[in-house]
Structure 1
């Protein structure tokens, strides 16, 4: 290979690296822009899903053998039965509630979410609806019990 051919090859490699770096940068910027345009509920769903995929607990501590296997089982095709048997993360769904306890239920929903009064009211009024996603049984149990005391029918899915 001549000296000129070698220099051309090096320039081509450098140009290819620059283009792939630029493409990656554009991809990351596109993803960041999409995340900025999500509403509060979608941002929450994304955060929960991201932490599950990264194997992180809600508070940032790694959870070995608890969250990661359920994500892997749920992601593999044809494994719905095994995923249901091994499920460790649940969504809390409000099925119905006693109309007289609506205000108390809204206050309780606000206590375990980052929703404002209007958002919590709108969410509760959309019965049936998912109140919180990505909870373990241990996290969900006290909340479910409190909501049941107030007159709500709650299901973990």
Structure 2
């Protein structure tokens, strides 16, 4: 029973993704067709597809096999080793614009002041800020500009904390 349902669903999916395949009643009545005849018919239909339809069919086939992301990585990776070498060179040339502020350590006597300062620029509650400060080294703010990060570092260093901009 499951094979009949799968064939019916396949028929509708193939019509949606690959409209040029002729899906007549012979796909549902395969009991009269022998296995080699069926495979020969399928291979002839696949060979008659244009490249776009063949690509759509390959995506549909991967989805039906449970390989949802199998072909997508190869499409986005670029063309060969020359394509992959250029983005790494460009990434090195680009200047970093967003930084993370990392609290490495602080004086035990200024713990409350450090918690207050962390709360002022992170919008955390008292308990969350306290937990963050207690688990140093920890990132207290991520994705900040260099100027904003340096201002935070100055505030924390004035309290005796060791802070790094990464």
* TM-score where L is the length of structure 2: 0.46
Larger radius of gyration: 2
* TM-score where L is the length of structure 1: 0.49
